[in-house]
Amino acid sequence: MWSIFPRAISSLSDFDRSFTAKPADGPSCRDPTYLAPPHESPHDSVTVTAPSASNPSPDDARVVARVFALTDVGLSREHNEDTFLVADLDVAEEIRFGADARPLPVPSHGLLFLVADGMGGAASGEIASSMASDAVLAVLKEQWLKADTSSPAAFASSLRDATTVANGRIFAFAQENPEHRGMGTTATIAGLVGDTLYVAQVGDSRAYLVRDGVAKQLTKDQSLMQRLVEAGELTQEQADASDRRNIILQALGPEAQITIDLTHQQVRKGDTLIICSDGLSGLVRPDEMARFSSETDDVRKLCERLVTRANELGGPDNITVIAARFEGEALVASKDGDEVGYRTFPLAGTLNHDTNEVALPNTPLKAHLRSDPTPRYGTPQPNIAAIEEVAAHLVDTDQQPVVLGAPEAVVVERRQQVGPIYYVLALIAVLAAAWVLYNYVSKSPK
């Protein structure tokens, strides 16, 4: 895996802009054999501008995003199973960080930000997170760029479908390659279209928005601890300190079906988006993220400070972060009464929607469905007993763990139906034994 991804710069001829490129023989961000020295960054931030309308003119007000992304192997791991992606959705191409920062116009199709935290072992985890990144961008290129409308619902639908396809591809790959069975990845995928962020969530990576010195979480962890908090069985502080905090309810890949949590958030001038894996959010608290963000306008320095802080706290896991600061005349200043936080987007087939018939499971489908551990809190190897012990806290009727098998009444009815058959079989067995014994006795010498 990678330690820190060197992102080579390519010429984007569609916009007639040239960037400084790394040598052709330099390692690619997709090269799984390359291990860069830890705790270095070859990147510079990229300033991105986006128009506020679907058919912009040169005079249109624009949203300006200054973006930087960084991943680090941490202090305990030998490999990096995380992946990040920042992409220009006008051309569905990855934005690669280079020697200088220049504006890259991104019209109505917006920007994509993705962090994926792979699991299932070194090779399997990095394959899963990379596959998620590639699949999401490919589907958005085919579906979002060719959509008949550029409405919020159209983009949200494309984001939902891209995440679903990514899950299917990872699951199919694991089925076809037994050595990768159980592979998976979390995914926090955000798209900025106009002045609104749309976030698809699977697993326990996180998205935060820092506004006026306060960091608010835009996503909810799909984890057992989050369910216990929502059920009132644990406080957030207790959940954060639990040694089972990394047991997650779903991820991309381990199962054929997933339920995507889709949220949205309008951005204001000066907002900072932070998307990170649990190697960062499991150690660096939101108030620290907000403080670091307030102390610098440089998104590169912000990312480096966050990664450094996670390593100062032990760096037990891979650490990945994307930071994007939003400015521009198209944005208004924040004001009292603005809502910031977890806000679901109404779309069929997603979590919490009225028309959605498939709810997120209350307990992990498999004992191994678990994000990378954070040893600061202690994480023993997963086992069924541990999961059942924690799941026992779910006391509400709607929060009961999934019970496998048929209901007891059905089992009793089936036993009554097959009872006579058992009696007949037993009688036949007795008669057969008697017949054998009779033949043996009758043929014996007198």
Average pLDDT over residues 137-156: 93
Q: Quote the DSSP letter at residue 209.
A: E
What integer pLDDT is reported at residue 104 of this predicted model? 53
Structure tokens at 182: 């159980």
What integer pLDDT is reported at residue 415 of this predicted model? 66
What integer pLDDT is reported at residue 106 of this predicted model? 53
Q: Classify 21 in phi/psi space as left (phi over 0), alpha (psi -120 to 50) or beta.
A: beta
pLDDT band for position 110 (50/70/90)? very high
What integer pLDDT is reported at residue 203 of this predicted model? 95
In this model, does residue 168 exceed pLDDT 90? yes
pLDDT band for position 441 (50/70/90)? confident
Distance CA 349, CA 359 (A): 10
pLDDT band for position 8 (50/70/90)? very low
The phi and psi torsions of 223 (rounded to 5 degrees) equal -135, 160
Lowest model confidence (mean pLDDT) among 116-120, 246-250, 281-285, 439-443: 439-443
Average pLDDT over residues 257-271: 95
Reported pTM: 0.72
Q: How does the average pLDDT of the chain come out, rounded?
A: 77
Report the percentage of the chain scoring pLDDT > 70: 68
In this model, does residue 293 exceed pLDDT 70? yes
Average pLDDT over residues 390-403: 44
Q: Is the CB of residue 119 less than 8 Å from the CB of residue 371?
A: yes
Distance CA 442, CA 432 (A): 15
pLDDT band for position 311 (50/70/90)? very high
Beta-bridged to residue 324, according to DSSP, are 67, 273
Over the stretch 193-211, which tens digit does the pLDDT of each residue have?
989 999 999 999 999 999 9
What integer pLDDT is reported at residue 2 of this predicted model? 36
Lowest model confidence (mean pLDDT) among 47-56, 150-159, 288-297, 313-322: 47-56
Q: Is the CB of residue 395 less than 8 Å from the CB of residue 233?
A: yes
User: Regarding predicted confidence, which is higher, 360 or 85?
Assistant: 85
User: Regarding predicted confidence, which is higher, 362 or 26?
Assistant: 362
Average pLDDT over residues 81-96: 93
Average pLDDT over residues 170-189: 94
User: Regarding predicted confidence, which is higher, 425 or 8?
Assistant: 425
What integer pLDDT is reported at residue 325 of this predicted model? 93
Q: Are strands 272-276 and 206-211 parallel, antiparallel or unpaired?
A: antiparallel
Average pLDDT over residues 154-179: 95
Helix axes 152-176, 122-143, angle to 10 degrees: 140
Task: Name all contacts of 133-137 with Cβ < 8 Å and 24+ positions apart.
Answer: 133/83, 133/84, 133/85, 135/162, 135/165, 135/166, 135/169, 135/170, 136/85, 136/112, 136/162, 136/163, 136/165, 136/166, 136/187, 136/189, 137/85, 137/87, 137/92, 137/94, 137/112, 137/162
In this model, does residue 345 exceed pLDDT 80? yes
pLDDT band for position 303 (50/70/90)? very high
What integer pLDDT is reported at residue 162 of this predicted model? 97
Alpha helices in 85-235 (DSSP H): 122-143, 152-176, 224-230
**From the CB of residue 316, how many other CB atoms can be counted at a distance below 10 Å?**
22
In this model, does residue 39 exceed pLDDT 70? no
Q: Are strands 104-105 and 46-51 parallel, antiparallel or unpaired?
A: parallel
Q: Is the CB of residue 150 less than 8 Å from the CB of residue 54?
A: yes
Report the percentage of the chain scoring pLDDT > 90: 48
Element (H, E) at 38: none
Q: State which of 42-46, 231-235, 249-253 shows the largest mean pLDDT.
A: 249-253
Unique residue bearing structure tokens 């496998």 = 404
The DSSP annotation for 339-380 comes to: --S--B---TTBTT-TT---PPPSS-SSTT-BPPP-GGG--P
What integer pLDDT is reported at residue 16 of this predicted model? 31
pLDDT band for position 156 (50/70/90)? very high
Distance CA 154, CA 378 (A): 43
User: Regarding predicted confidence, which is higher, 53 or 316?
Assistant: 316
In this model, does residue 126 exceed pLDDT 80? yes
Unique residue bearing structure tokens 């043929």 = 443
Three-class SS of residue 438?
A: helix
Distance CA 438, CA 2 (A): 78
Lowest model confidence (mean pLDDT) among 85-94, 141-150, 377-386: 377-386
Q: Are strands 111-119 and 184-185 parallel, antiparallel or unpaired?
A: antiparallel
In this model, does residue 24 exceed pLDDT 80? no
Three-class SS of residue 170?
A: helix
In this model, does residue 287 exceed pLDDT 80? yes
Q: Are strands 82-88 and 93-94 parallel, antiparallel or unpaired?
A: antiparallel
**Domain 13-391 bears CATH identifier 3.10.520.10:** no
pLDDT band for position 34 (50/70/90)? very low
Pick from 11, 10, 2: nearest CA to 30: 2
pLDDT band for position 355 (50/70/90)? very low
Distance CA 74, CA 316 (A): 6
Pick from 105, 77, 95, 70: nearest CA to 277: 70
